[in-house]
Homo-oligomer: A and B are copies of this chain.
Amino acid sequence: MMDMRNLVKRTIVAALLAGVATPAFAEDGYDLWLRYRPLAAAQGTDTAAITVLGDTPTLRVAGAELTRGLSGLSAHPVPLVADARAGAIVLAVSSAPQLAALRLPTEALGQEGYLVRAVDLDGRRVTLVTANTDRGVLYGAFALLRWVQTGHPLAEVDLSSTPHVALRVLDHWDNLDGTVERGYSGQSLWDWWTLPDYRDPRYTDYARANASIGINGSVLNNVNAKAESLTPFYIAKAAALADIFRPYGIKVYLSARFSAPIELGGLKTADPLDPQVAAWWRAKADEIYRAIPDFGGFLVKANSEGQPGPQDYHRTHADGANMLAAAVAPHHGIVMWRAFVYAQENAEDRAKQAYDDFHPLDGKFASNVIVQVKNGAIDFQPREPFHPLFGAMPKTPLMMEFQITKEYLGQATHLAYLGPMFEETLRSDTLAHGKGSTVARVVDGTLDRHALTGMAGVANIGRDRDWSGSTFNQANWFAFGRFAWNPDDSADAIARDWAAMTFEPAPAVVGPVVKMMAGSREAVVDYMTPLGLAHVMATGHHYGPGLWISDLKRPEWNPYYYHRATRDAVGVERGPKGNAATAQYAPALARLLADPKTTPERDLLWFHRVPWTYRLKSGETVWQGMVGDYDRGVGYVAGMRADWAALRPRIDAERFAKTESFLGVQQREAQWWRDASLSYWMSVNALPLPAGVRAPAHDLAWYKAQRFPYAPGNP
């Protein structure tokens, strides 16, 4: 056998020089933003060595990640050495004896914050990555890598950050049969069938990616939960994942089916006030904690869309949540109880039901319960006004639930950067305690002084090689993590970081990529749901337009329910003259929303029913404005295609081609949305298109006839 060094050399040369050989690095998107390719410009990233003081599993992975990252970025090997040389990077928790003399200001860092700066250690100048816990050190290591990846000189590093939110959680809507509800990137990442025996290296890479953006929790299974996920068979599988995630500071949570005591325990009831039910859950929690000592707790969807819940027994959501909370409390677990509820037998506007159910329960939840509220009152639309529960339950910790997977925003293929959507919601001012009472301050707990805070993102992660179905979908996972760490972060700054890390930090790349991303979500709003429209997607799979659907049994199943267009007017009147949904907001805001003239035009048709001839601030009628929006949306996609085409010389072939083809799909589908919508509106309002506007390609019957029975993600 040839010696290893020679073999390795031959390996590389072969890979490099063969005309069509396997590339040394497959640019298939697997690396996400942890893409440690050599930086094109000398960035002063060279460092002598890395030294980890202390030894825990988390410190070990922090050291390994820095070694891997800096070796890759600087294109030279950076060794891990025991003693800190001059120029080294040193990782240590703040209590390490070697740091005692430095008197670093680490108190404010809490349990997860970090500090990265140059210090003198025993007379040697080193870059120190420190924190009060090893988790904090890991976050600091990733922050240092990001600093370098985004083109900054290592020598100038001086970073400190502490998360504003305690629970930064991905919700996986993954089913035990391997499908993913609203998943557009392949099967569930969890191969339940080979767990716990086989520990796919991919699980570790998932944990690395999450830790790099500060995510510290993972709800493994769908909120539409199966009781079986709580059986020993599946608990063992969850425990295997928890073991893999633990060094990365990530806790595992499970969605709990409320009726599990009946289905698994053989009880006759799941009434939360029944002592046997409570005892069953306590025993179940004890069993889970024996397998997963740091189990995070339960996420529950109850009494919503057919799921069982406490209301089945005439108990409140608080009764249900508190019973579960008591089961996990001895183990310091928590319960995330979803406020996404609407009942088919409730005649009230769907947009009002969650508030009606939950607002009266403010202050009634146990201290280890946090109520999880979607960003808007309907369901993850391209745009929704912030949910009226934010600011309305001061005595209750509320956590944000964003949807990272793009159920309603073009699914797998459309390029829609959600950063601006997250930002828009978080910066919205509830006016609950006067100006500045932003949703971000509800979420980070500062508004009403809650320590239990959280943000959940419905994951867009599957077994597809690039994790999220497209390169640009990865940006939404990244942005979610960043906003969960700091709800006051900026979508633009996050996009810049992501683009630099995912492609390269050169302005010639970052500039156009960020430009594409910046308006991409607004473009989706424009070509799907302009002016505050919502939920006009085809039913079930939510793929493509379905504005005309009005014949399904329950009113809220029909897109028509959400726009109610007639010959004369369009929109749902939710002001005082309508169903008064605006009154669910704080009075100061409710007053503004009561009048179309003081309602943001972007939300006009959400809150108000107006004539087609209603004048917008631009002077155009609603109809004219709507037509303009559709065309602007379509035009934006054309612009993204042009921007991307110009980037061809700077992007590797494989990722370039995939995005290029997806943008082609998006352009065709944006046009379809625009044309189908205009066809439908004109069939209702009988208005002509403004001069110079192109007529739809087909008649309305054609659009109505489209069927997509196997659209993905539809349970």
Contact = CB atoms under 8 A, between A and B. Distances in A.
Contacts of A665: 194, 197-198
Contact of A68 (B21, B73, B654): B21
Interface stretch (A279-287, A581-589, A618-626, A656-664): A656-664
Interface of A: 1-2, 7-22, 24-26, 28, 31, 36-38, 40-42, 64-65, 67-68, 71-80, 175-179, 184, 186-187, 192-194, 197-201, 226, 228, 412-413, 463-465, 506, 654, 658, 661-662, 664-665, 709-712
Q: Closest 5 A-B residue pairs measured CB to CB?
A: A10-B75, A18-B71, A17-B77, A10-B38, A14-B75
A280 B28 CA distance: 43
A707 B562 CA distance: 44
A198 B72 contact: no
Given A41-B2, A177-B710, A18 B662 contact: no
A77 B18 contact: yes
A19 B413 contact: no
Nearest to A72: B14
A197 B75 contact: no
Contact of A11 (B25, B64, B464, B664): B25
A71 to B, nearest CB: 3
Contacts of A709: 176, 228
Contacts of A465: 465
A197 to B, nearest CB: 5
Given A187-B187, A710-B176, A71 B21 contact: yes
A199 B74 CA distance: 34
Contacts of A662: 194, 197-198
Contacts of A179: 179
Given A20-B68, A26-B26, A194-B665, 18 more contacts: A10-B75, A11-B24, A11-B75, A13-B76, A14-B38, A14-B72, A14-B75, A15-B24, A18-B68, A193-B412, A193-B712, A197-B413, A197-B661, A197-B665, A198-B661, A201-B654, A228-B709, A463-B463
B464 A71 contact: no
A167 B417 CA distance: 48
A40 B198 contact: no
Contact of A198 (B79, B176, B658, B710): B658
A340 to B, nearest CB: 25
Given A15-B25, A21-B36, A194 B413 contact: yes
Contact of A24 (B12, B18, B654, B664): B12
B197 A18 contact: no
A175 B73 CA distance: 43
A463 B202 CA distance: 14
Contact of A18 (B2, B25, B72): B72
Contact of A14 (B26, B36, B64): B36
Nearest to A465: B465
Given A19-B68, A40-B2, A72-B15, A712 B201 contact: no
A14 B184 CA distance: 34
Contacts of A26: 26
A321 to B, nearest CB: 28
Given A20-B64, A201-B654, A1 B40 contact: yes
A23 to B, nearest CB: 10
Contacts of A76: 10, 13-14, 17
30 contacts: A1-B506, A2-B41, A2-B42, A7-B40, A9-B75, A10-B38, A13-B76, A13-B77, A14-B71, A14-B72, A14-B76, A18-B67, A18-B72, A19-B64, A20-B67, A21-B68, A21-B71, A22-B25, A175-B710, A186-B187, A187-B187, A192-B710, A194-B662, A197-B413, A197-B664, A197-B665, A198-B413, A198-B665, A463-B463, A463-B464
A74 B21 CA distance: 12
A563 to B, nearest CB: 27
A91 to B, nearest CB: 14
A551 to B, nearest CB: 22
A78 B21 CA distance: 11
Contacts of A197: 413, 661-662, 664-665
Contacts of A36: 14, 18, 21-22
A706 to B, nearest CB: 9
Contacts of A74: 14
Contact of A78 (B7, B18, B75): B18
Contacts of A73: 14
Contacts of A7: 38, 40
A91 B31 CA distance: 38
A200 B465 CA distance: 11
A187 B179 CA distance: 9
Nearest to A42: B2
B187 A463 contact: yes
Contact of A199 (B64, B506, B661): B661
A646 to B, nearest CB: 17
A712 B177 CA distance: 7
A25 B465 CA distance: 16
Contacts of A8: 16
Contact of A19 (B15, B17, B79, B661): B79
A71 B19 contact: yes
Nearest to A8: B16
Given A193-B412, A662-B198, A71 B41 contact: no
B198 A41 contact: no
Contacts of A654: 201
Among A9, A18, A42, A184, the one with the most B-chain Cβ atoms within 10 Å of its Cβ is A18
A12 B12 contact: yes
Nearest to A178: B712
A193 B711 contact: yes
Contacts of A72: 14-15, 18, 21-22
Contacts of A178: 710, 712
A37 B710 CA distance: 41
A567 B12 CA distance: 66
A178 B412 CA distance: 14
A31 B38 contact: no
Given A40-B2, A176-B710, A710-B176, A412 B194 contact: yes
Nearest to A196: B661
A464 to B, nearest CB: 7
Contacts of A464: 463
A13 B175 CA distance: 42
Contact of A13 (B10, B75, B199, B661): B75
Contacts of A12: 12, 16, 24
